[in-house]
Structure 1
Amino acid sequence: MSQAALIQLLGVTKIYGQGATALQALKGVDLAIDAGDFVAIMGPSGSGKSTAMNTLGCLDTPTTGQYIFNGVHVEQLSRDQRALLRRRYLGFVFQGFNLLARTSAQENVELPLLYRGEPAKQRHTAAKKALASVGLAGWEHHTPAELSGGQQQRVAIARAIVTEPAVLLADEPTGNLDTQRSHEIMNLLWKLNVDHGITVLMVTHESDMAAYAKRIVRFVDGVVSSDARNIHPAALAATEEVH
């Protein structure tokens, strides 16, 4: 791990509630992630992985400890400053696709740019490019009801990357998909990581999905229990078999 990691958690704790009902979800997490890495975060229910993901995504703040993103101490930022960091540097993909039902794929993907106040012409161009990058060129005017689950998740990924984020946070991105579509989405995330240099952080409980990552971090009882490089990521193995 390099000295200037893109992301660092140093002694991060998170406590919900007070007194006898207090729940300590994170108990001193140390984690460093370099730009361009692809990390799968795993662990049983209640292990702290979702709390860690919310912290990394600036959706929650540590009770104690430090979260450093590209040299900035996130734990010292105001709510508005964290929102700005999210908008500029982070993209999110969830298990539920969270698409607007009566809105076209193009318009769904444009939403983050609309919030940014980008001009219409630039929004259209960027959304079309993002949809093409996830294999949906020609599907711009279809609504979610006209798309398969796999295609809807591709639209969600296009929406997450249309702002050209440094980091893509994916929370169980294949949880609602069948096996074939799940592998298609994982290959897509792999390509975004390798070809576009986007750092990918993914929570998953499925070992065959985690196998696509370059690194697997496991949480148990609020701490990192293991952190290992994945020498043969599934997407790389499949590529080598073709050649």
Structure 2
Amino acid sequence: MSDAPPIEPLIELQQVTKVYGSGSTAFAALKGVDLRVRAGEFVAIMGPSGSGKSTALNVLGCLDRPSSGAYRFRGVHVERLDRDQRALLRRHFLGFVFQGFNLLARTSALENVELPLIYRGMPARERHAAAAAALADVGLAGWEHHTPGELSGGQQQRVAIARAIVTQPAVLLADEPTGNLDTARSVEIMALLARLNLERGITILMVTHEPDMAAWAQRVVHFRDGRIQSDEVNPHPTRAPEMPALATEAG
């Protein structure tokens, strides 16, 4: 037997609840959720509409606060942080990808990717270089000056992923990242996420209702009625070995 200490989770939810409203109109979206995620894992979160999966992702992303229970990130009690502290955690450790892309319509791909770096106060030359490198990582070298209206849905989601990873986050939170894409583009996006997980070690938590997309993850967590119904290891996650490796990060 090994005497090595157990690996502490990167993320831990302990008996987390989330209640909206009060009195007779109160609705419990989460009802005592326990979840542990280690650094480098790729976890798919599934469940029917209203099951609590998106609420859980919002809590994990510091977009919402639990009504009770503990949320630890690297051992820090996130539920005890104030608004500014939670904003700093989001800015420095978390990246977000949404179903609707959430790109600025009249802004170039490069400028969209630069936005998180502007909030960090990075000098213009450095952020231009970092944004261009992130776009190259997602296969969009040469598309830096195109606006979202000049890009396909798959390309827009790649820009959104570049924006999410340009800050080199520890965790990527993806809410239905293939929900607006056709099958071929969905596979491309999932292959990209899997490569970011495998080659960069980015921890990924992804909400999806599509089993084919969840099959790319190492774990699949099913929510139902505000609780985790099952948490299963996927022994053979989908892979795309024919795709080239990501470029080595600059710096």
The TM-score with structure 1 as length reference comes to 0.96
CA distance in 2: counterparts of 1:63 and 1:3, whole angstroms: 28
Name 1:91's counterpart in structure 2. 95
CA distance in 1: counterparts of 2:187 and 2:175, whole angstroms: 15
SS in 1 for 2:162: helix
CA distance in 2: counterparts of 1:137 and 1:34, whole angstroms: 32
Name 1:5's counterpart in structure 2. 9
Per-residue deviation, 1:115: 1.1
* 1:151 aligned to which of 151, 155, 158: 155
* Structure 1 segments unaligned to the other structure (5+ residues): none
* 1:163 aligned to which of 160, 167, 182: 167
**Correspondences of 1:51-200 after superposition (within 5 Å):** 51-200=55-204
SS in 2 for 1:9: strand
Name 1:27's counterpart in structure 2. 31
User: Per-residue CA shift, 1:12-64, capped at 9, x if unaligned?
Assistant: 01111111111011110000000000000000011110110000000111111
Matched residue type, 1:239: P
Per-residue deviation, 1:239: 2.8
CA distance in 2: counterparts of 1:99 and 1:164, whole angstroms: 19
Per-residue deviation, 1:3: 4.0
Count residues with an aligned counterpart. Answer: 237
User: Per-residue CA shift, 1:162-217, capped at 9, x if unaligned?
Assistant: 00000000000000000000000000000000001100000000000000001000
CA distance in 2: counterparts of 1:32 and 1:92, whole angstroms: 19
CA distance in 2: counterparts of 1:30 and 1:145, whole angstroms: 42
CA distance in 2: counterparts of 1:156 and 1:136, whole angstroms: 11
SS in 1 for 2:241: helix
Per-residue deviation, 1:146: 1.2
Name 1:209's counterpart in structure 2. 213
CA distance in 2: counterparts of 1:136 and 1:44, whole angstroms: 34
Per-residue deviation, 1:142: 1.0
SS in 2 for 1:75: helix
Name 2:235's counterpart in structure 1. 231
Q: Superposition RMSD on alpha carbons, in Å?
A: 0.9
CA distance in 2: counterparts of 1:122 and 1:70, whole angstroms: 29
CA distance in 2: counterparts of 1:131 and 1:46, whole angstroms: 35
SS in 2 for 1:219: strand
SS in 2 for 1:92: strand
* Structure 2 segments unaligned to the other structure (5+ residues): 1-5, 243-251
User: Per-residue CA shift, 1:136-165, capped at 9, x if unaligned?
Assistant: 111111111111110000000000000000
Matched residue type, 1:232: H
**Correspondences of 1:37-56 after superposition (within 5 Å):** 37-56=41-60
Bigger helix share: 1
Instruction: Using the aligned pairs only, state the percent identity.
Output: 73
Matched residue type, 2:122: E
Matched residue type, 1:73: H
